[in-house]
């Protein structure tokens, strides 16, 4: 089988409370926190960017899986905040990890679903034995115009997953994509901050694609929401994933473990990956996990995973679970 053999996450320890951001803009912090259902967000240090976050998460994945970097034959980095416009992030990551020169590398962009697109690419390389192991990364130092509603949730983190055929902890059972030309979020070349369609980002964008991809996959694999132990959805705020889950028939309990947006915000390409990591940190063998990402522009990738007995041994080796990184925090003051 082809599936996840290891994973790692990196959540910067610094936090900013949404109430502090609101206060600086002379807004009602309680109202904004209640509306978004997010309380604080993770932010990178001054010497951290998308590449450094990606490296930290990837090192954790290699360590947890006891994998030699030279056994990595593909690297994809999904992000909308690559440090260079013309210069791949994937090669920086490969060099710092000590990967040999014999690997496929690609930077991917599709808003917040760029990383799950990479998971599909790398699955194909591993499944057809063009690569022994492949590393897929979602890493973002998310950007937003000061005072814009996006600023309250745009956060920073990275998730890295290694796919292979040996010692698989979660098989990739199947996946689908659902895509349309829906311009709910964009940034033209040279613009410093992204723009968005406000309320238009909800029903015709996020919900249309997340529900569309999820329903297509559930029908394809002939499963219902009740067949899954856990479900993870892209988390642009605290409301959208809960509404999507409810419409699809998933319970609050199924979504709870992977729901991390209220404590770290929305790290864009890393959002669903960090949520999946939190689930794998505590999942039991032979459990089905549902995941659906979302990227503005717009599209969703939906996956069905099934854990194996290997996950018990793996969890004992994992010394840096998501919950520990969320709790290891230091608050910073917000200044315009």
In degrees and rounded to multiples of 5, residue 139 shows phi and psi of -145, 130
First to last CA, the chain: 51
Element (H, E) at 55: helix 50-65
324 vs 326: CA distance, rounded Å: 5
* Buried b / exposed e along 289-327 (16+ C-beta atoms within 10 A): bbbbbbbbbbbbbbbbbbbbebbeebbeebebbbeebbe
Collect all residues with Cβ–Cβ distance below 8 Å to 55 and sequence separation of at least 6. 92, 93, 96, 97
Q: What separation in angstroms does the CA of 202 have from each of 182, 196, 243, 269, 289?
A: 11, 11, 11, 18, 25
Q: Which among 186, 231, 168, 237 has a CA at the least distance from the CA of 2?
A: 168
Name the residues annotated as catalytic. 80, 112, 234
Report the distance separating Cα 155 and Cα 138, nearest Å.
13
d(CA 314, CA 317): 5
Rounded alpha-carbon distances, angstroms, from residue 165 to 6, 130, 288: 11, 12, 18
Contact criterion met (CB below 8 Å) for 15 and 43: yes
Distance CA 260, CA 251 (A): 16
- Check if the beta carbon of residue 265 is closer than 8 Å to that of residue 154: yes
Q: Which residues contact 215 (CB under 8 A, 6 or more apart)?
A: 248
């Amino acid at each position: 089988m082809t599936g996840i053999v290891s994973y790692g996450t990196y959540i910067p320890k610094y936090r900013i409370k949404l109430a502090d951001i609101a206060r600086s803009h002379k807004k009602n912090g309680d109202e904004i926190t209640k509306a978004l259902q997010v309380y604080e967000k993770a932010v990178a240090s001054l010497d951290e960017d998308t590449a450094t976050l990606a490296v930290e998460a990837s090192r954790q994945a290699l360590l947890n899986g006891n994998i030699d970097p030279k056994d990595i034959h593909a690297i994809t980095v999904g992000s909308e905040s690559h440090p260079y416009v013309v210069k791949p992030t994937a090669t920086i990551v490969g060099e710092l990890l000590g990967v040999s020169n014999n690997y496929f590398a690609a930077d991917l962009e599709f808003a917040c679903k760029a990383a799950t697109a990479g998971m599909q690419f790398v699955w194909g390389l591993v499944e057809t034995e063009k690569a022994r192991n492949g590393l897929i990364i979602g890493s973002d130092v998310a950007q937003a115009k000061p005072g814009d509603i996006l600023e309250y949730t745009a956060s920073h983190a990275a998730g890295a997953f290694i796919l292979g055929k040996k010692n698989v902890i979660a098989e990739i059972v199947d996946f689908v994509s659902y895509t349309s030309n829906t311009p709910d979020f964009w940034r033209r070349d040279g613009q410093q901050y992204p723009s968005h369609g406000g309320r238009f980002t909800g029903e015709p964008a996020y919900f249309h694609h997340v529900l569309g991809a999820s329903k297509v996959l559930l029908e394809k694999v002939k499963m219902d929401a009740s067949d899954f132990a856990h479900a993870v959805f892209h988390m642009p705020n605290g409301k959208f994933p809960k509404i999507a889950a409810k419409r699809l028939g998933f319970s609050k309990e199924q979504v709870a473990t992977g729901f991390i947006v209220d404590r770290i915000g929305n790290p864009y390409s890393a959002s669903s990956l960090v949520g999946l990591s939190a689930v794998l940190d505590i999942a039991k063998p032979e459990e089905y996990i549902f995941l659906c990402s979302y990227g503005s522009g717009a599209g969703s990738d939906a996956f069905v995973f099934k854990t194996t007995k290997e996950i018990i041994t793996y969890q004992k080796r994992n010394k840096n679970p998501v919950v520990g990184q969320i709790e290891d925090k230091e608050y910073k003051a917000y200044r315009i």
